Chain A
């Protein structure tokens, strides 16, 4: 296991993925602001939530890159398309599974069935995050695929 390679490229891939996510929002591809979703787990303060959320996103992106690395290690081979493939599977998991349980687990998110309630006012994401814009799945798939490509190309197996 190439620990220094994981630390370096895991971090780089996470930074690039975060940048692409912010870019897709800025370009109007999606309204979803992932750092804001994560940050509101801790605080209702919009600006502070984005800051906390970005830190959490960077940290967990780094941690998740370890899963990619472990898959490369177990396959005994990396490469861009394998990275992209893992990224797409990762994105599908986020879109289908994580988004579905988010309203039930996020302390400030409204339920789709019952609507907003006191302290639970955030719009739920809907299936595959479609409430946040019809092109949200494309944005998530693209950013995660690039995340995987960076790891697949630059991580050197040991």
Chain B
């Protein structure tokens, strides 16, 4: 795979952004991470946790043992206090990077005048059977840097900070074994192929590598002793090969064969990274508090499972042929919602518990000064009625793709349906989770309609004998009537985001996708025109709703527009053009954040964001389906 070149602008105003010592003109390192743009990060993971690594070779985000655990590296959110682990050349260098094809193994290639080096980063993965037969560390991250040309001086700075940077970490050197760090109830082990020098709370090494020479590092974590201490040397190469094979085998199961295969496989691999394998939960993103507005306070913790996002993800993975992951999520869903059924919470933790209460980490300065940094999420208290529709729609898709909905699941789904029938007319916070109170959101009503409609479809198939069909039919019609009368603004000739309102939001583009109205209807055509006029941000981007001052354009909305056009709101060519435009905003590794700043194209919001990648997959699948339909029609003619 041809790697992509990354521009590395230094972000002005941050300490540690230059590593040239002004007086001596010698290269010296600082103990600060160098702030990077959000899109300059790549992600690695093992479906349990994830790490973000900048194009400068700095590991700036890692939470162990799971996505929502406290961090050990968090320079992403404070480059002085957060902690980081940098492996990079000492002088000026250029960077190209890529994933090893169809894997989540990241390669960063440094080029200096005197030589080149490749840094390989991964969290090793293997089959459960393989793990059972070997001593396998419960959590490990591998970093290997190899000189590929000439000679290159590499500097390694290992500076962990525990609990979101609030605590120093004492490094203890044990001869023959490595560095041990006791943090809370767990211990980290750093093993390296060359000795590091410990200085206070960090360790470092500067070494010149000649062609084919390399350095290897293994960072592992265990809450149970004896920990497994991974081997270095050839064994690292084996773990890399095994991980590459594992990811490739997984990627090969993707059934999509079309023009966007590369983008779809990357999106699927990213979604797979965000699925927590031990429980089947799917997190919205691997990070917290990457800002929606640079320097602003719209900073949220996304390391939990939003039922909406997860349901979208299941639908996308099913569309690509990944039934096993969908089945795991369906199982998790039943377990997670068991206590609250028939009510659904907006988000859950990885094992189905209530997500933690939101609070701020005052000691962190935030990404580019975007404070506060929050952990936990206040949306857990919100009412978002659309999630009933998303969950039921995901189960409906699962059944349509051959999945079996067991009796307990059927009972749960019918319970959700009854809840919808009783509550659909209530105001709620809705999909965008504003903190400004509840409203009569059109999208929430639409999704309540979807919930009842899909349950009635399932009932038609002969299952769901206990479903109160008449109740569901009656309420479905009541919702339809309300949407067609009060969500439609006759004066504006547009559907609107709130009943009897006069503004639009991007979710209105989804009305045809859910089968409520044809994409080509007069109402939808005029609505889409208004959406594009009011929310268009240029270059194929859309804001999610009107906001002053504007935040970034919302990634998934651009793909919703492509889907709308493909479904009959425009031509297939227009849809493809819109999709191509939207796809341009991925980073050099094919990753999307939540939002994109129009004009600069910079990523904002948590990263990488499952929701946006779901949009990529869903839109590409719709484009493919529509193209197939057109071909089939032409064939008949």
Contacts and interface: CB of A to CB of B under 8 A. Distances in A.
Interface of A: 25, 28, 30-33, 36-37, 40, 44-48, 108-119, 121-126, 131-134
A28 B225 CA distance: 12
A114 B224 contact: no
B230 interface: yes
Contacts of B235: 118
Interface in B229-250: 229-231, 235
A26 to B, nearest CB: 9
Contacts of B178: 115
B228 interface: yes
Contact of A121 (B133, B135, B180, B224): B135
Nearest to B235: A118
Interface in B154-194: 174-178, 180, 182, 184-187, 189, 191
Contact of B225 (A45, A108, A133): A133
Is chain A's binding surface mostly helix, strand, loop or mixed?
loop
Nearest to B187: A31
A31 B222 contact: yes
B22 interface: no
26 contacts: A31-B224, A40-B226, A44-B133, A44-B134, A45-B132, A46-B136, A48-B132, A110-B177, A113-B175, A115-B177, A115-B229, A116-B177, A116-B230, A121-B135, A121-B228, A121-B231, A122-B135, A123-B225, A124-B177, A124-B226, A125-B226, A126-B174, A132-B225, A132-B226, A133-B225, A134-B182
Interface string B93-122: 000000000000000000000000000000
A32 B178 CA distance: 19
A123 B229 contact: yes
Interface residues of B, number: 30
B224 A36 contact: yes
B223 interface: yes
B229 A116 contact: yes
B227 interface: yes
B162 to A, nearest CB: 14
Contact of B135 (A25, A33, A44): A44
Contact of A122 (B133, B176, B180, B229): B229
B227 A33 contact: no
A40 B135 contact: yes
B227 A123 contact: yes
Contacts of A47: 132
Those 9 A-B pairs whose CB atoms lie nearest each other, nearest first:
A132-B225, A28-B185, A31-B225, A115-B176, A122-B226, A123-B226, A116-B229, A123-B227, A121-B135
A108 B135 contact: yes
Nearest to B176: A115
Nearest to B186: A31
A21 to B, nearest CB: 12
Contacts of B185: 28, 31
A2 B133 CA distance: 45
Interface string B207-227: 000000000000000111111
Nearest to A25: B224
Nearest to B131: A46
Interface in B527-562: none
A51 to B, nearest CB: 13
Given A31-B187, A44-B134, A110 B229 contact: yes
A30 B178 CA distance: 20
Nearest to B228: A121
Contacts of B174: 112, 126, 131
Given A28-B185, A112-B174, A134-B182, A45 B133 contact: yes
Given A28-B184, A46-B136, A132-B225, 12 more contacts: A25-B224, A31-B223, A31-B227, A32-B226, A33-B224, A47-B132, A113-B175, A113-B176, A116-B229, A121-B229, A124-B226, A134-B182
Nearest to B172: A131
Contact of A33 (B131, B189, B225, B230): B225
Contacts of B135: 40, 44, 108, 119, 121-122
A123 B228 contact: yes
Contacts of B225: 30-33, 123, 125, 131-133
Contact of A118 (B131, B223, B231): B231
Contacts of B186: 31
Contacts of B223: 31
Contact of B228 (A30, A122, A126): A122
B226 A37 contact: yes
Contacts of A121: 135, 228-231
A40 B224 CA distance: 13
B228 A131 contact: no
A28 B224 CA distance: 10
B181 to A, nearest CB: 12
A122 B223 CA distance: 14
Contacts of A25: 224
B69 to A, nearest CB: 14
A42 to B, nearest CB: 13
Given A114-B176, A133-B182, A36 B229 contact: no
Contacts of B131: 46
A64 B173 CA distance: 36
A33 B185 CA distance: 13
A38 to B, nearest CB: 11
Interface in B337-366: none
A31 to B, nearest CB: 4
B423 to A, nearest CB: 40
A95 to B, nearest CB: 14
A122 B229 CA distance: 6
Contacts of B177: 110, 112, 115-116, 123-124
A7 to B, nearest CB: 32
A131 B185 CA distance: 12
A113 to B, nearest CB: 5
Contacts of A37: 226
B396 to A, nearest CB: 36
Nearest to A49: B135
A47 B189 CA distance: 22
